[in-house]
Structure 1
């Protein structure tokens, strides 16, 4: 079963400095039909204006992933991490027992566009941790986060994996899904066919009780999507 939620059906928030689309209930946007999916709790499509950003605030017991689409993030946290994340980079902040951080648009001329993703952990009271990495844009599936941190992936405290899917024009890919696993697909850019269902940028799909997914890029531009393998 594949249930699609189109980009224009998501919740909206606009504070001037921040323009955001919420896949699941978040902040002032509440929809009891969209509270998350398995351990996946938040996907926010954020655009931060020049000079804008999130002042210092706290998180606890949440795995927080940022994926920079355009521009750069200036990050600081209470663990002493001070970093710039550029377009294409992934960041994992494991909040653990508690962490404070701020994040701002690092550019003085261009807006920042990034995805903010929250995944609920299955292990609690841990020391906060921080990682960031550029995994490139290789064709096919690239594993970004795993519960073991294997092969240079980000170490996430949940029985979940995050993959980046990249398909060049006129290419296909099929994957198998393990029994009992759920998949959430977030379309980043381009038009992707999933078992002959078309997804456009910003669309999402909840996938359950399927054992094979057939992806196809029938367009003329490269396609990028995020694939969450969830318990």
Structure 2
């Protein structure tokens, strides 16, 4: 599915300059009409290879829910604790949060993450990687 808001797509993730960056597939992207703020929801699946990781990043003013589909994901948001989330567990990122760590907790098994974004249609850059 093509994501018309340029939030999350293969080139966005590849731009992270990491050879171990997860692949991403947009599962759903819908604009909610009839609401004053016109939010858009987006669900994307990230496939992390063993040892795979993404660079530190932010998600604009989106609310984000990360849900682990399989394997285990090591995550840190803002200055919070580093946590490992296993299949069936989730975390929430508030608008403006800094996702400082997102990686497969295993060097031998793959992991899959479902990321659900809710944002205003005006928020075009929902994945902004830190400058390295």
Partner residue, 1:37: 31
Higher RCO (CA < 8 A, seq sep 6+):
2
What's the Cα RMSD here?
2.4
User: Is 1:111 aligned to 2:110, yes or no?
Assistant: yes
Q: TM-score, normalised by structure 2?
A: 0.64
Which runs of 4 or more aligned residues in structure 1 lie more than 4 Å from their structure 2 counterparts after TM superposition? none
SS at match of 1:103: strand
For the residues of structure 2 that align with 1:90 and 1:40, how far apart are their CA atoms?
Answer: 21
Larger Rg: 1
Q: Tell me if the contact between 1:50 and 1:111 (Cα under 8 Å) persists in the aligned partners.
A: yes
SS at match of 2:31: coil
Deviation at 1:67, TM superposition (A): 1.1
Structure 1 runs not aligned, ≥5 long: 1-9, 25-33, 122-231
**Normalized per residue, which structure has more strand?**
1
Q: Deviations over 1:4-28 (max 9, x none)?
A: xxxxxx246385642221135xxxx
Q: Deviations over 1:21-60 (max 9, x none)?
A: 1135xxxxxxxxx6x3323432111111111111111233
SS at match of 2:80: coil
Deviation at 1:71, TM superposition (A): 0.4
User: Is 1:22 aligned to 2:26, yes or no?
Assistant: yes
SS at match of 1:23: strand
Q: Aligned in 2, Cα 1:44/1:50: closer, same or farther, shift over 3 Å?
A: same
Deviation at 1:79, TM superposition (A): 2.6
Q: What number of residue pairs does the alignment pair up?
A: 101
Q: TM-score, normalised by structure 1?
A: 0.39
For the residues of structure 2 that align with 1:62 and 1:79, how far apart are their CA atoms?
Answer: 19
Structure 2 runs not aligned, ≥5 long: 3-8, 33-38, 121-132
